[in-house]
Amino acid sequence: MTEPNLLSAVNLHKKFKVSGQNRSTRFLTALDQVSLHISAGETLGIAGESGCGKSTVAKIMAGLLLPDSGDVLYKGTPLSQLGKSDRKIYRQKTQMIFQDPFSSLNPRMRVGDSISEPLVISGMPASLRRAELARIMASVGLPYDSANRFPDEFSGGQRQRIGIARALAAAPEILIADEPVSSLDISIQAQIINILLQMKQESALSMMIVSHNLLILRHICDRIIIMYLGAIVECGPTAELFSRCRHPYTEALIAAIPGLNASDASKGVLLHDDLPSALSIPPGCRFHPRCRHAIDLCRSEVPKMTEYAAGHTAACHLSEALFGQGSD
């Protein structure tokens, strides 16, 4: 019997009210029929421009935000059907690392106490907590003698290490990281990425990493989902996505990576217009106003998600014409 996915989402919809002029109310579409899954031990990346809905997905998967419709399933059971005790277990087993490491920490709590809090909640005896705290801090490159300091005494990279350590203290099955390095200097980003890679190699931890930086996801993730204006437009194994993408938007994102595609041919692929407003989703393929290949069909009919290779899907009317038929 096939084991259910560790964590999955089915047809997530989410809209937010936006106040306009003359006290009018409009609705911003953050997510539209988003479905995905994470297997045990897998690292899944979610990429796209700011405003594509990737952070909203992360918050819903972490249980911090409720969808308008659709559901998140933990080991095959919808979160909406979990009882109080099971919800508590899910919150423990699913931990989140936030973009801003400072705002996610209590400035009045010493970092050792902050990291140890999940250990206290889990009921670990005080006699064991000190050793476990030292082990967790060492795993993210923090010296134990810094446990008595406060968050404002640390650099941004060190604070992110503290946030990761606190998440690990809960002994999670799933770690959800929302832009974990975007607020850090490039040299510090590499250090945090190496910590995530080490966690991936040394444990069975499943991870979902949200980032606008595809190059970072390429180094860490087994699969990558590409989102555009609240919908998934492509999903596939990382290596295949980079070697043979199936959607013009993915092609443009890859072409924009500095140094990766420096040829003159790649320059014509780059996006030149801003992301349209999610207050007014374009009809048909939502990417068509920015797509240099768009035809009348793209402007009138929503493309279906089609599988072109094992685990590699995309929603584009012109995928076969642009990228070939794919493999069995």
**Please, are residues 175 and 206 in contact by the beta-carbon 8 Å criterion?**
yes
Q: pLDDT band at residue 267, thresholds of 50, 70 and 90? A: low
Pairwise CA distance, residues 77 & 82, whole Å: 7
Q: What is the mean pLDDT of the chain?
A: 90
Pairwise CA distance, residues 226 & 232, whole Å: 6
Where in the sequence is the domain holding 323, given as residue range(s)?
245-328
Per-residue pLDDT reduced to its tens digit, 276-299: 888 989 999 999 999 999 999 999
The sign one gets for the Cα dihedral 290, 295, 299, 303 is negative
- pLDDT > 70 in the chain, percent: 96
Q: Is residue 257 part of a domain?
A: yes
- Continuous H helices in 102-213: 111-121, 126-139, 156-169, 186-202
Q: Is residue 250 part of a domain?
A: yes
Q: Is residue 303 part of a domain?
A: yes
What confidence score (pLDDT) does residue 77 get?
93
Q: Is residue 286 part of a domain?
A: yes
Contacts of 70 (CB under 8 A, 6+ apart): 9, 10, 11, 12, 13, 33, 34, 35
Per-residue pLDDT reduced to its tens digit, 303-312: 999 999 999 9
Per-residue pLDDT reduced to its tens digit, 222-242: 999 999 999 999 999 999 999
Per-residue pLDDT reduced to its tens digit, 147-197: 999 999 999 889 999 999 999 999 999 999 999 888 788 888 888 898 888
What confidence score (pLDDT) does residue 253 get?
94
Per-residue pLDDT reduced to its tens digit, 316-328: 999 999 998 766 5
Q: Is residue 252 part of a domain?
A: yes
DSSP label at 227? E
DSSP label at 2? P
- pTM of the shown model: 0.91
Q: Is residue 310 part of a domain?
A: yes
Pairwise CA distance, residues 79 & 76, whole Å: 9
Pairwise CA distance, residues 142 & 157, whole Å: 11
Q: Is residue 133 part of a domain?
A: no
- Amino acid code (one letter) for 250: T
Pairwise CA distance, residues 19 & 88, whole Å: 35
Q: What is the CA radius of gyration of the chain?
A: 21
Q: Is residue 103 part of a domain?
A: no
Q: pLDDT band at residue 275, thresholds of 50, 70 and 90? A: confident
Give the tokens for residue 108: 């009045």
**Please, are residues 313 and 239 in contact by the beta-carbon 8 Å criterion?**
no
DSSP structure string for 16-34: EEEE-GGG-EEEEEEEEEE
Per-residue pLDDT reduced to its tens digit, 90-146: 988 999 998 877 777 889 999 999 999 999 988 899 889 999 999 999 999 999 999
Q: pLDDT band at residue 1, thresholds of 50, 70 and 90? A: low
What confidence score (pLDDT) does residue 266 get?
52
**308: exposed, middle or buried (Cβ count in 10 Å: 0-12, 13-18, 19+):** buried
**Please, are residues 117 and 168 in contact by the beta-carbon 8 Å criterion?**
no
**Please, are residues 231 and 302 in contact by the beta-carbon 8 Å criterion?**
no
Statement: residue 26 has pLDDT above 70: yes
Statement: residue 264 has pLDDT above 70: no
Q: How many CA atoms lie within 13 A of 97 on its CB side?
A: 32
Domain count, the chain: 1
What confidence score (pLDDT) does residue 268 get?
61
Statement: residue 261 has pLDDT above 70: no
Per-residue pLDDT reduced to its tens digit, 105-117: 889 999 999 999 9
Secondary element (H or E) of residue 208: strand 206-210
Statement: residue 301 has pLDDT above 90: yes
Pairwise CA distance, residues 100 & 148, whole Å: 21
